[in-house]
Amino acid sequence: MLKKIICFLSGLPMTIVAGGFLLLDLVPHLIEEFGNTTLHLNVLPFDPAWVTIVISGIPLLYLALWRIIYNLGISKISSALLITIAMFAAIAIGDLFAAGEVAFIMAIGALLEETTTNRAKKGLKNLISLAPTKGRRLRNGKEEMISAEEIRQGDILRILPGESIPVDGTIVSGETSVDQSIMTGESLPIDKGKGEEVFCGTINCFGSIDIVATKVGENSSLQRLIRMVKEAENKQAPMQRIADRVASWLVPVALLIAVLAYVFTGNIVTAVTVLVVFCPCALVLATPTAIMAAIGQATKHGVIIKSGEALEKMGKVDTIAFDKTGTLTYGRLDVSDILSFDESISEIDILAFAASAEAKSEHPLGKAIVTYAKVKEVPLVESAAFRMTTGKGVFAEVDNHNLFCGNEKFLAENGVSIDGQVQSVLRWFRTQGKASILIAEGKKCIGVIALSDVLRPEAKDMVFSLSAMHTRTVLLTGDHKQTADYFAQQVGISEVRAELLPEEKVLSIEKLQAENHKVCMIGDGVNDAPALKTADVSVAMGSMGSDIAIDAAEVALMSEDLSKIPYLKRLSNATVKTIKFSIALSMCINFVAIVLSLMQLLNPTTGALVHNAGSCFVVLIAALLYDRKFE
């Protein structure tokens, strides 16, 4: 019940009411201080400031007492206690306006803090929903559907095309291609055969396979992924505001100065004035106001920042780690090279042969070739015969041409010789991180088509801009090392860590943090969620990325424009500098006000006005972030 009352009083509607009554009390005080002392404008039977004190003061008193009890000692007393003491001191000497003013300023600060720190955390629920619930177990030559919880280590499971793999295991029979982007972020399905590992939650794209369960239940890769997200989320402790960090010495210093002022002047009004002007309202407001302005500007530019804490920490980041697929690249396959090994056959003919042969294929490489041919308006011929060998390639009879399209192993099995020239070309494509499809007619290899993920055009300029800001860049990817090295070289990233599983990405980030680096992780996939949660700051590619990555991250780029990363860094740097400047300025204003109070040039009312003007000035400086240019 008490908490409901506190929430009601500290809400926006009641804070507006408190501000209105404080304004009613301000006019007669100004007239009394600077004008006709015989004119009375207060038509209420009580002082309007009492309403402000009740509305804004009760939540302030509750906060001060709760923090004392919660922190179990005076060493962690918050700034709320000093402001509460000042409020009661002003009441004690009858200066209700001063009491209401300091309480009202704190109420505004609390609303700003609440607005800028709310964040959504739905990613874990979505991640858990990916866990397969059933599996097909083979026992005594028969198939039986059982729940995933019933699967035991050593069980033989059959996985049909299109099904999720329910546990970690090793293939004992069959060949297929597995989409394991959930674990590694790789854009290409991986061809798998007997003796190779498969992971829980990944998708069997083609052939039926039998696996022996090796890691089940909580030990599976997907469950470890879920557990790491939970643990990383628990590590995210809210950053204390600077005012509360210094309150352990600010409170006794303020009280000591007030007591000394009373001892040496014999004037209780001077002592109360010191308490009023010493209140760190401007100090408290500097951080949330600057953050609110920065978040507002970021939103206009399509950058969604979920918390003020993330913005502050981004300003201190010195290392940015990138995922590759879907982040530096678009995460889609496209034909990059077409080569003919027969002078009588043009590259267009190679494309036409391959696309016609692959037209009935379900393999992603084959589909990409067919899509590319249609975009180039290359006419396709219906195949008279079609045969697909899972994980290897296809055979098709196209316009009386017997065509084989696939990898080296597939062509060799069908009697096609691969000479040194072809092998040299394949090695060159591999160094560029490209997948290759060989095309053979009869027993002769006539051409090759290479496919690659597509690099985002702004990636290189983005890395250059970060380097100019003395920000280190690192590539963390599940892709093969050759692929990772090639793309890193293209964009100018010199530090590459490849072939990483999700837990290895986490370890890489923790190693960077152990070297005293502040790390920002940028990713887009489910596999990036633990790394995103572990990093000091996390950024997800919005419209392309998975919901889990977006929920796990603290910042989302809704336009998929990597040029927003340098913008985000500049904005964050400026926010941190503005906060530091505002804090220094508020401390200077407080110091001057204390001196004027000790000289008895200020009383609680005028001191409150000076204090209020200083707070407003600090808020204005912070609010200017909203319209500043950072492009």
Separation of alpha carbons 210 and 511, rounded Å = 38
Across 360-395, b (16+ Cβ under 10 Å) vs e yields ebebbbbebbbebbeeeebebbebeebebbbbbbbb
**How is 242-255 classified by DSSP, letter by letter?**
HHHHHHHHHHHHHH
Separation of alpha carbons 183 and 200, rounded Å = 9
Separation of alpha carbons 376 and 378, rounded Å = 6
- Side by side, the strands of the sheet bearing 555-557 are 303-305, 555-557, 537-541, 519-523, 319-322, 472-476, 495-497
Could you give the C-alpha distances from 66 to 1, 15, 244, 250, 554, in angstroms and in order? Answer: 15, 21, 14, 19, 29
Catalytic, 323? Answer yes
Find tokens 């803090």 and name the residue. Answer: 113
What angle (nearest 5°) sits at the alpha carbon of residue 115, between those of residues 110 and 116?
100
Separation of alpha carbons 159 and 135, rounded Å = 8
Amino acid at the residue 289: T
Could you give the C-alpha distances from 464 to 468, 494, 538, 574, 629, in angstroms and in order? Answer: 6, 12, 20, 19, 20
**How is 364-408 classified by DSSP, letter by letter?**
HHHHHHHHHHHHTT------SEEEEETTTEEEEEETTEEEEEE-H
Separation of alpha carbons 494 and 603, rounded Å = 62
- In degrees and rounded to multiples of 5, residue 374 shows phi and psi of -65, -40
Decide: residue 516, CB within 10 A, 0-12 exposed, 13-18 middle, 19+ buried.
exposed
- Side by side, the strands of the sheet bearing 329-340 are 329-340, 444-455, 435-441, 401-406, 393-398, 385-389
Amino acid at the residue 263: V
Across 256-273, b (16+ Cβ under 10 Å) vs e yields ebbeebbeeeeeebbbbb
Residue 249: which of 278, 288, 210 has the closest Cα? 278
Separation of alpha carbons 158 and 131, rounded Å = 17
Q: How far apart are the first and last CA of the chain?
A: 49
Catalytic residue among 25, 155, 323, 485: 323
3 state DSSP class of 301: coil
DSSP label at residue 241:
P
Other CB atoms within 10 Å distance of the CB of residue 113: 19
Amino acid at the residue 446: I
Tally DSSP H helices, then E strands, for the chain: 23, 22
List helix spans (H) across 599-624: 604-623
Separation of alpha carbons 531 and 509, rounded Å = 7
- Maximum pairwise Cα distance, the chain: 112
- In degrees and rounded to multiples of 5, residue 57 shows phi and psi of -80, -35
DSSP label at residue 493:
-
Q: Catalytic residue positions?
A: 323
